[in-house]
Every structure is written in C-alpha cells, then in structure tokens.
Structure 1
C-alpha cells in the first residue's frame, strides 16, 4: 500500500521588522485549504533558509544574490536614529549624518545596512543584536541608526527616534529561489502585487457547475431578448361597435334654427 501524498502548504520566511499580516490574511481568504506557515528568521540568515528549502519564499532585506534568487522589491524604509528620550536630538524633527558626527553610534552584528561602520564615534564594542544595542541607547551610552520598523519593533518607553534624511536605506522584497517558482509562489506573488482573484495570472477559476451554467445561459438569453417596437405616435383609434362600425362621436346637440 503506497503512502498518501502530503497536503500542499506554503512556508513564508520573514525578517524582523517586516509585518506580513495583510498578505497572510488575503492568502487565508483565497486559499483556505492550503495552510501558510510563517518562519521568522534573522535578516542575515534568510538567504540560507531559502537556499536550504526551509521556506518557499521570504520577505527579506535587499540585496540578494540575483544569480540564484528572484526578487520583487516591495518598499523602502525610512532610516531613523534611536536616542534616549532626554537627548538633545528630540528637540528637532529630523537630523542628518553630519548632526551625528560627534555621537557614539553602535554597530550591532546584525546591522542591516551595507556599510563598514556607521558615522560618528565608534562604540567600545559591537553589540550582538539590535535589541542589545537599543538597551545600551536607553542606558545613555550611545545612539543607533536603524530602519524605522526595527525602532518600532524594539520600542522602549525610555527611548525615541528621529528620521535621518541622508542615511542609507533598507529595502524589503519578496524573494525565492528562481528554480523553485511553484504555483503557490505565483499565488503569493499575485497577492503582494495586488492582483484580484479574477486576474489572468491568478489562480484559475473552478469549473462551473451545471446549475451555474444554466443560470449563465439564461442571463445571456435575457441580455439578447429584443424589445417590442413602440407604436408610432398619432391619433388614438376610435372604438368600434360589435358590427364593426365606428362608434358615433358624442358632442353637444345642434340647435334647431
């Protein structure tokens, strides 16, 4: 006796700061019989997770190896600097990298920016993670430049952030191994691109049932039914008696002379 084939499922990797909830909701509405499993991975490990087949696609940070992966850029984030709530920077709406030149800036090992080191004074050590660096910011030891989504994700009551207008930016993309472009991957591509259920590149419609087919035919017949032509305007025809003679007109009696 042969074993039954596994039920289809879709595994979506995503990196910290990315919120896939709206796309997952649409997936569950359109494909309720195919479960979608979320796999959260560190940004630096996302490519290896996809290479190893541990996820079918991923919401990752660019760049990716375009010789191996396909990628659809989705959006680019605002870059911010995380500061203690009583820092002088909180008095302004935004800053530039030049404004941070005299500040100690942390460079965590999981930094998502493609730079050798952030501007400003180097910190005494590199924190292991972004949450560790934010704890040091709260202790008033230095500052941290991150994408805005990470500042929100690791928010604390004793820190805040301001946009950095000329800092590097991080872009998020949907990515997957090019040679593993399955039908389910195509379905998810359609969702993130905003395609409707009836899109020509979306999932095919189910075959119509006999009842639905009959209903469609009736609706087509109703659409082609011709209206009776209207009668031309003119005098109203006189009524006739049973013998076929016109009914005499009624009017005022003529006076005898």
Structure 2
C-alpha cells in the first residue's frame, strides 16, 4: 500500500431509537481489520450526512428520497403514548387516539410519526425536540405519542407508556447513497439481511480449499492383503489340549482290569 492510500474503514449513521449493537458485533467478527465508526445523527440531518459522505450507510426513518438514496425497509415500530405514572392511561393495557381527546398532546418539531390529524388538544407551542417534550410530560403539561424505541430512550422513573392502537407508525430502514454502493456497503447489507459468511451474495472470500489428505501407508504384503491366522488350523494341534492330537475321531479307551 502506498502512502497516499487510506486504510479501509466504515462509518455507520443511526437515528435516535435505533440500537445497532447487534450488527456492529457481527461486523467486527467478520471484518476485524476494517474499523466501524458509529455516527449519531438526528432524523432531520440523517440524509444530508449520507449525501455529504459523513457516513457510508445509516439507519434512518422512512420515507427516504429514492432519487439518489437506496433503502431497505427493516421493521415497523409500535407507537406509544408517554404519560405520568399517575395518569388514568397507566391503568389500562392500551388506548386509542379517541382516549386522548381531553389531553394536551405535545407535537415536537422532530416528530417522526407524520400525523394527518394530531389527536387531543393542541399545546400552545411545539417543543423543539422529543427530549424536550418528555420533560414537559414529566411536568404535567401534556402527553406525547412516539415510537416505542424513543419512549425507551428517554425513559424516566416517573413516566410510563402504553400502546396506541390506531396511531401512525414509524418504519426503520437501512439507507446509503446509490452511487456509492461499495463493497463494504454490500458487506453491511449482507449482515443486516442475515446472510451467512459463505453466502454467494456476500463479498467475503470463500475459505481456502483444504489440502488433500495424505493416504495412509500400509505395509507391503506382496500384492495381497495380510490375513490373520485362524486359531487351531495351522498345525492340526488341538488348541485346548496343548499337546499333539491323535488321529481325528480317535476314542480314548477304558483301562482293562487284570485277571484274578
């Protein structure tokens, strides 16, 4: 490698709520010589980071502009409402948007659900971030509907959350600039899709062919296989008696009595 060539590396962006640890672990196992750097980005800046080369690929929230970005949808998140623990919602397993009609529902500027019509009563101002909205919920100002991963990310001991059955849902995707679909990007796509190391679509090199096993050497036998001697057939001796045997089939006579 010349001095002008850079060592290979991979930068992976991810938006709040995504936990990339599993995929990073597999990457480190398969490509230990290629360091992977995580780049935390907001939902609003994720696509600019990808287009500007700040990351090779990233976990983003749909929709994605397919003009210059490729995307693979991965999973859909459950939407939940975050409320104080003493709120009436905390007493049930799930709610609908109609159950929030009397509540002030906060709508942060970085909202990821894309409401057509926000439920409940509008707040006087929109919080700048989801984190700010969670603080307002803790202060008793209102409630907040977010993807479940964000409720977990901003968890507080004085708050809880419940699923909202008819709220919009947020989807997570892996995205990258289409014109920069490099070998390393293909490697990461394979990991996310669950391909094995030996997958024909993966870039990882196939294992080297095993050396041929040496043939076992047998002692020379004059062209024939060595036979084990059969016990009792070589000399005609009775193996049980240990002495010379008489004619085959001979009977042992009884001693004669002397005459008186």
TM-score normalized by structure 2? Answer: 0.83
Tell me how far 1:216 sits from its aligned partner. Answer: 2.9
Greater mean alpha carbon deviation, residues 199-208 or residues 142-151: 199-208
Tell me how far 1:191 sits from its aligned partner. Answer: 0.6
Structure 1 spans left out of the alignment, 5+ residues = 223-228
Tell me how far 1:19 sits from its aligned partner. Answer: 0.3
- Rounded to whole Å, the distance in 2 between the matches of 1:66 and 1:186 is 18
Structure 2 spans left out of the alignment, 5+ residues = 217-224, 237-245, 255-260
Tell me how far 1:254 sits from its aligned partner. Answer: 7.2
- Rounded to whole Å, the distance in 2 between the matches of 1:61 and 1:138 is 26
- Rounded to whole Å, the distance in 2 between the matches of 1:22 and 1:144 is 29
Query: Which portions of structure 1, spanning 4 or more consecutive aligned residues, are displaced by more than 3 angstroms?
Result: 247-255
Alignment of 1:150-169 (within 5 A): 150-169=150-169
Aligned with 2:70: secondary structure? strand
Distance 1:49 1:248, change over 3 A: farther
Which of the residues 208, 224, 239 maps onto 2:233?
239
Task: Say if 1:106 and 1:118, in contact at 8 Å, map to a contact too.
Answer: no
Alignment of 1:202-241 (within 5 A): 202-205=202-205, 208=208, 216-218=211-213, 239-241=233-235
Q: Deviations over 1:113-170 (max 9, x none)?
A: 1125521110110000001001110111100000000000011111110000111100
- Rounded to whole Å, the distance in 2 between the matches of 1:17 and 1:47 is 16
Tell me how far 1:51 sits from its aligned partner. Answer: 1.1
Greater mean alpha carbon deviation, residues 111-120 or residues 165-174: 111-120
Give 2:49's aligned residue: 49
TM-score normalized by structure 1? Answer: 0.83
- Rounded to whole Å, the distance in 1 between the matches of 2:250 and 2:140 is 110
Task: Say if 2:198 and 2:206, in contact at 8 Å, map to a contact too.
Answer: no
Tell me how far 1:25 sits from its aligned partner. Answer: 0.7
Give 1:139's aligned residue: 139
- Rounded to whole Å, the distance in 2 between the matches of 1:25 and 1:248 is 84
Aligned with 1:42: secondary structure? coil
Aligned with 1:172: secondary structure? strand
Alignment of 1:113-192 (within 5 A): 113-192=113-192
Give 2:220's aligned residue: none
Structure whose CA Rg is larger? 2
Structure that is richer in helix per residue? 1
Aligned with 1:110: secondary structure? coil
Task: Say if 1:95 and 1:165, in contact at 8 Å, map to a contact too.
Answer: yes
Distance 1:120 1:207, change over 3 A: closer
Task: Say if 2:106 and 2:143, in contact at 8 Å, map to a contact too.
Answer: yes
